[in-house]
Amino acid sequence: MRILLDHFSKSFGSVRVIDDMTLEIKDGEMLALLGPSGCGKSTTLFAICGIHKVTSGRILFGDRDVTNVSSQERNVGVVFQSYALYPHMTVRENIAFPLRIRSLPEAEIKRLVNEMAGLVHIGSLLDRRPAELSGGQQQRVALARALVRRPNVLLLDEPLANLDAKLRLEMRSEIRRIQLETGITAILVTHDQVEAMSMCDRIAIMNNGQIIQIATPQEMYRNPRTAFVAGFLGNPPIAFIDAVARDGMLAVENADIRLPIPREADRVPEGTPVVVGIRPENLGTEGDAAIRGRVSFIETQGRENLYDITLANGKVLRSIQRVRDDVSLHDEVEWRVRSDQLFLFAQNGERL
């Protein structure tokens, strides 16, 4: 079901946490709400499921305005960050709870619970209590409980934050698999860009209660709208250096580096101070511009190495390349970068 947040704002007392957000989640889509801690992701989620009342604006499920509908009536499935399983109930009772409350016939409940347990692979755990489950198993139970009522939308609030690295990887693909199998509309709240990029159809990136950009992961990575977005996506992250437009080129102060202005941003007035963003994978052996510096750090990652290059003015750029034997620590190097892969931002962070 399509979900629409229409000019939604939320204040706690005098503090405005969400300011005039408009966001559409398409039917059957999985959307990531990505942003740093405290930017208002959970608040948005709680507004969608009805736990928080909105201060202004509307929330639509399909064509139905649910702004003033109680959370009990919205039919939303939520997986909370702490899972919020009922500790005194068995796994079976936990999953059956939303159905029991709706007074479904016992036989029907049984069938749906078993079906759901099969989907999330916890068929053998049904008679245990939450305290007797591992984190990953609890996660699956929470997912089953959220899905069993066939909700209009599935909301996941940092569902992987409490899992260890290996389990996180496993549950990442599990959640995506289940979402695709059920075809449910889902919103995933996370502050982990890898999670957002790997699991979701689209990403809405948030900062300070506002949505900065909504796009597919690829599009957002290739074409960030602001320096904040560019900085948030990518691991290892993008590096920024200050430069000034001079003689149709970008001059990096005190570093004897001149970069060509990327074609899509060539209307940069002479003398404008700009910020240049260079992704680590774009700095290496190929390109039409040269960057000189000294290798100040080498991090071995197995297949590839991560090199830190300190420029003459002290700024540090990162480069990720396959392991090279010809480069060692403290070497002076001159590496290349392709001008069409540079990102140019104004001082306020807007893309040029």
Ligand X SMILES: Nc1ncnc2c1ncn2[C@@H]1O[C@H](COP(=O)(O)OP(=O)(O)OP(=O)(O)O)[C@@H](O)[C@H]1O
Q: Which residues bind other proteins (CB under 8 A)?
A: 46, 49-51, 70-78, 80-82, 84-89, 97-98, 101-102, 129, 131-135, 145, 149
Q: For residues 21 and 126, which CB has a smaller minimum distance to ligand X in the complex?
A: 21
Which tokens in the block code for residue 129? 């209590």
Residue 82 found at the interface with ligand X (CB under 6 A): no
Residue linked to tokens 């540090």: 316
Spatial distance between the Cα atoms of 81 and 87, rounded to a whole number of angstroms: 15
Which tokens in the block code for residue 286? 């190929």
Residue linked to tokens 């970069």: 259
Kindly identify the residues of this chain, within the stretch 263-322, that bind ligand X according to CB under 6 A.
Answer: none
* Residue 207 backbone phi and psi in degrees, to 5: -150, 135
Which tokens in the block code for residue 312? 């003459």
Residue 179 found at the interface with ligand X (CB under 6 A): no
325 binds, among other proteins, ligand X, Mg ion, none (CB under 5 to 8 A by kind): none
Contact by Cβ (8 Å): 295, 264: no
SS3 call for 251: strand
Q: For residues 55 and 81, which CB has a smaller minimum distance to other proteins in the complex?
A: 81
12 binds, among Mg ion, ligand X, other proteins, none (CB under 5 to 8 A by kind): ligand X
Residue 53 found at the interface with ligand X (CB under 6 A): no
What type of residue sits at position 222? R
Contact by Cβ (8 Å): 304, 323: yes
Q: For residues 7 and 64, which CB has a smaller minimum distance to other proteins in the complex?
A: 64
Out of 30, 40, 42, 195, point to the residue binding Mg ion (CB under 5 A): 42
Q: How many residues bind ligand X (CB under 6 A)?
A: 12
Which tokens in the block code for residue 91? 């796994």
| Site residues, ligand X (CB under 6 A) | 12, 15, 17, 35, 37-43, 191
| Site residues, Mg ion (CB under 5 A) | 42
